[in-house]
Structure 1
């Protein structure tokens, strides 16, 4: 008998309204996202630049119970 699979949805926040980031993220979660996918770009490893640690920390302080998955496209991920 085949095992059943559980599907989890990770909603990317790459194209949300950053002026209303916390509310945009909460809408994704309220509409079925299991967790949030954060594309972190530093402008060096890849030409684009997104948000950094201060923004993620504020988001975490606002949305405490969500799981954040991060895709780090940065030159020095330990920094």
Structure 2
């Protein structure tokens, strides 16, 4: 889009997370939509194809580990 803002690491991560949320079940168009076929998606602002699959796997693993750690902490504290 001719703007370096979208190349900043935090913005790339934000777009990756949006794609993860849109691909998650249950779908929630209130939180995010347009990461697949919007003008922005066609311009390359959102991950597509194999990148999207890797992002889904990485966020899924991260949230599983986070949930397990929180569960352990809760069990230890309670």
- The TM-score with structure 1 as length reference comes to 0.28
- The TM-score with structure 2 as length reference comes to 0.28
Quick check: which one's helix share is greater? 2
- Identify which of structures 1 and 2 has the higher relative contact order when contacts are C-alpha pairs closer than 8 Å and 6+ apart: 1
Q: Mark the structure with the bigger radius of gyration.
A: 2
